[in-house]
Amino acid sequence: MLYRDAELDCVGMTRFPLGKPGRPRDRRAMCVVALAWRVHPDWPLILVGNRDEFHARPSAALAAWNDGSGIVGGRDLKAGGTWLGAHRPSGRVVVVTNVRGAMPDPAKESRGALVVDMLRGDGRFAEPAAADLERFNAFNLFAVDGKARLLTNRPCAQILSLEPGVHALANEPIDQPCPRAERLRAALGAVVSAGMAPDRLLDTLTATDDPALFLEGGVYGTRCSTLVALAADGSIKMTERRYEAGGRPAGTTALEFCVG
């Protein structure tokens, strides 16, 4: 099954899936990510996005993990997984966004652990089937490993192939439109159309005018902006800009490595 851009721009900001009766619903904007797949002349893959989270939630900066996994990415120090990463030996890239709606069920599997298993190509969820996706709280996920796929469990569990093009996700089920995701998709599309270097997208991610890509909240807001770019020669460039409460810059990490 092929998944076209018109169908993929489906992550809105104002409608919310129904949770269980009487159960609170999570209405925060959380993350936004866009992916250019096999459409830029110099960069077969460009992935760019913002991670929005509580500032008090502990996390580690972008780095090569020292556990032998081959993963390069940030790390959620509370749950132990990651929201976005690359696998140096294979070149896999995976990113996940939460889907707003019912508050997370603590009995469910960790979405960050799903990313880790898929990056390593090992573990229970290295190659998840659609039925496995219901084990997790609501999510959308891009995975690239020679092919590009979208995995989601809202509005139902699906694993969809992505055509070459520019795609975007945020925090709604994939059947709903989203100005925030569309803004980032359009910005990435403009870079692709002009054949420009992708680095300028990091500045786009700081936009605070409506629909804001960058959230400046003191308790909850944008924690980091990340760019992942795979060059035609097989090298991967990763840049992460980190932010504190109120949108204050908190450091930048830039890494470049060859796959293999």
What domain count does the chain have? Answer: 1
Entry pTM: 0.89
| Residue 103: pLDDT over 90 | no
Q: DSSP string covering 131-161, please?
A: GGGGGBSSEEEEEESSSEEEEE-SSS-EEEE
Percent of the chain with pLDDT over 70: 89
Determine the structural domain holding residue 242 and report its residue range.
2-258
| Residue 36: pLDDT over 50 | yes
d(CA 114, CA 26): 21
Q: Per-residue pLDDT tens for 150-178? A: 999 999 999 999 999 999 999 989 989 89
Domain CATH number, residue 210: 3.60.60.10
